[in-house]
Chains A and B, each alone.
Chain A
Amino acid sequence: MTFRPSFVKTAVAGAIALLAGTASAQYSDGVIKIGVMNDMSGLYADIAGPGSVWAAKKAVEDFGAAAKGMKVEILAADHQNKPDIGSNIVRQWIDVDKVDAIADVPTSSVGLAVNQIVREKNKVHLNTGSATSDLTNKACSPNTVHWAYDTYMLSNGTGKALVKTGGDTWYFLTADYAFGHALERDTEAVVLANGGKVVGKVRHPFPGQDFSSFLLQAQSSKAKVIGLANAGGDTINSIKQAAEFGITKGGQNLAGLLVFITDVHSLGLATAQGLVLTESFYWDLNDGTRGWSKEFAAAHKGRMPSMVQAGVYASVIHYLKAVEALKSDADGLKVVDQMKKMPTDDKLFGKGSIRVDGRKIHDAYLFEVKKPAESKGPWDYYKLRATIPAAEAFRPLAQSECPLVKK
């Protein structure tokens, strides 16, 4: 009978939690509830999915919530990349289940919808999964913190690097929804600002399967760089098929504007080698990231974490610090204000801060995917080309359209 010890453990944990609950009566209904909502079963499930839930639970554990007398509960849900489903879940979480903070939320269209609801209900939105930079620009909200990355960071890193090394004519392959449009727009701005030119663009349905038709259109445009403003399985298939149709051999370069390490793993180094990409996290950066990632891998069949999952961990820790300092989780506005006041410090992103527009500021990294011969083993995929300092990685406040930024 294997369930006995775990049953006893659960019972003990429950009893402790109950005791802790009475000690922390200042938290709304005695519990700090964090809902991790993402794509649990579709094409973004490896980037976020169950790994993000693990990261949130790990954050609660590492923060030492129980020892501090804080009862924290992590909920999880699958929004299937659909804004309507995501909105319903969040409304129910907040209204019925009394959830205090919503974490992760990949897929920009869902992220933007949740952004609005969380603001109305005055809760906290810890977004790490959505890419659109609108979350801290036009659509910024005093209840939102945007963590790991955004389209500005991606285009500023990858776009600038490619234009500067001669890739001055671009053709965009864009996923036809909020995220793709934002990524295309931000990258186009970077290309133009650095003296490049955009010769054409095509918008493909999301999610897609066959990209050869769009790639052929890109090929006949004779652009030096084909910018892939898509993500996950769409990017993987685009890169795979570009290799198959001899586009990369023909002298055109691919710019994977949003490539996660899980995508590189799926492509294999033979296909992905040489790809230049921007990320804000890599498991093999320092001892802190390595230690945490090894634990992550042990719980996920050897798969390494993505920057989104790392962001969930870091944002939940910082959220709990703010709640602890306030001794209350009731007022979302106050919690986010507190998060902005306190400098951030965690083992995955190091020291950083949250700006008035809700943007979390940290370094970003320009990586190049290793050749198969350079890789020492599974998941040894990136070599660092440049570190983009925190101050330059994100959209400067001077260019911000966010109403929270006073000029």
Chain B
Amino acid sequence: MFELLGIPPQAFFGQLLLGLINGAFYALLSLGLAVIFGLLNVINFTHGAQYMMGAFGAWMLLNWAGIPFWVSLVVVPIVVGATGVVLERVFLKHLYHLDHLYGLLLTFGLALIIEGLYRQQFGSSGQPFVNPIPGGTNLGFMFLPYYRGFIVVFSLVVCMATWYVIERTKLGSYLRAATERPDIVQAFGINVPRMITLTYGFGVGLAALAGVLAAPAYQVSPQMGSSLIIVVFAVVVIGGMGSILGSILTGFGLGIVEGLTKVFYPEASNIVIFVIMVIVLMIKPAGLFGKQK
């Protein structure tokens, strides 16, 4: 049997696919962060908590109201996105003219409060969630659970659609224009503050969507977001702050790198992304896809 870099090809392709699955979550989450940072200039540290709210939203609908997962996939992001809109109207909008640090502190504090409330209510070890599409198929080199396959396809579609809307449509061009020169866009009769509010709601909705997707795959627990969010920030930094395509590509790419590290040197799998971040920042301080302003 031939071997690739010291491991059997089955294992290699298996790990590649698993990396892609994890990358799907990184991509969805970093996309939301990139959209918010790109248009609002706010580093949204509440993102992890909003991802967790998405997972718990699906759990609550299923266990308290018997509403199936597929409905949650649509409803929960909208509801959590709406809480984001409220958040933006009440708190965030007062901070745009201040230093990034204020937005960071506010959102970080909110994240701690939200996580604390959920922990108080649901405990720290989490809640079970039934897999909506059990079973899987044998690909020859590995057993692929149907649900994991669905995650990859679904998040790819969502990422691409988001990229298309922002980069290729009229609405997207308004959004991009509003980030560059809000005063001029406003002068053309476009309601910039409302657009920004909705953008934040959309970014938060993306986080919640990733949360709903994660519920059947991972444990639904209050700290599920905080353990992921640091990696996701590294992904955004590597991709280039605010770059939509960059965050998608680096999300998937780093998922794969991390997956392979889990085979070659498992002990380093939780730091490999940060090592890459350091290297990228040294060579391209604006990130792989970022533009130097």
A interface with B by C-beta (< 8 Å): 41-47, 49, 176, 202-205, 207-210, 212-214, 216-217, 219-220, 232-233, 236-237, 240-241, 244-246, 250, 262-263, 265-268, 270-271, 301, 303
**Contact residues in A for B124 (Cβ distance below 8 Å):** 41-46, 49, 233
Known contacts being A237-B218, A244-B217, A266-B219, is A217 close to B145, with CB within 8 Å?
A: no
Say if the beta carbon of B292 comes within 8 Å of chain A. Answer: no
Q: Which of A49, A205, A246, A271 contacts B267 (CB 8 A)?
A: A205
**Contact residues in B for A210 (Cβ distance below 8 Å):** 18, 22, 218
A267 to chain B, nearest CB (A): 6
**Contact residues in A for B192 (Cβ distance below 8 Å):** none
Check A244–B125 contact: CB distance below 8 A: no
6 A-B contact pairs sorted by A residue (CB < 8 Å): A43-B223, A210-B22, A213-B269, A214-B262, A216-B14, A237-B219
4 nearest interchain CB pairs? Answer: A268-B128, A205-B270, A45-B124, A213-B262
Check B219–A245 contact: CB distance below 8 A: no
Q: Which of B123, B145, B259 contacts A213 (CB 8 A)?
A: B259
**Contact residues in B for A244 (Cβ distance below 8 Å):** 131, 136, 145, 147-148, 217
Check A240–B145 contact: CB distance below 8 A: no
Contacting A at CB under 8 A, from B248-272, are: 259, 262-263, 266-267, 269-270
- Closest residue of chain B to A261 (Cβ to Cβ) is B125
Check B219–A42 contact: CB distance below 8 A: no
Known contacts being A202-B266, A213-B15, A220-B10, is A303 close to B145, with CB within 8 Å?
A: no
Check A42–B223 contact: CB distance below 8 A: yes
Say if the beta carbon of B11 comes within 8 Å of chain A. Answer: yes
Interface size on B, residues (CB 8 A): 41
In angstroms, Cα B221 to Cα A301, docked, is 16
Check B145–A236 contact: CB distance below 8 A: no
B interface with A by C-beta (< 8 Å): 8, 10-11, 14-15, 18-19, 21-22, 115-116, 119, 123-128, 130-131, 136, 142-143, 145, 147-148, 217-219, 221, 223-224, 227-228, 259, 262-263, 266-267, 269-270
**Contact residues in B for A176 (Cβ distance below 8 Å):** 266-267
Check B125–A262 contact: CB distance below 8 A: yes
- Closest residue of chain A to B136 (Cβ to Cβ) is A246
Check B266–A263 contact: CB distance below 8 A: no
Known contacts being A207-B227, A209-B224, is A216 close to B22, with CB within 8 Å?
A: no
**Contact residues in A for B11 (Cβ distance below 8 Å):** 216-217, 220
Check A204–B218 contact: CB distance below 8 A: no
B20 to chain A, nearest CB (A): 11
**Contact residues in A for B8 (Cβ distance below 8 Å):** 220
**Contact residues in B for A208 (Cβ distance below 8 Å):** 270
In angstroms, Cα B270 to Cα A176, docked, is 11
- Closest residue of chain A to B134 (Cβ to Cβ) is A244
Known contacts being A213-B259, A245-B145, is A236 close to B126, with CB within 8 Å?
A: yes
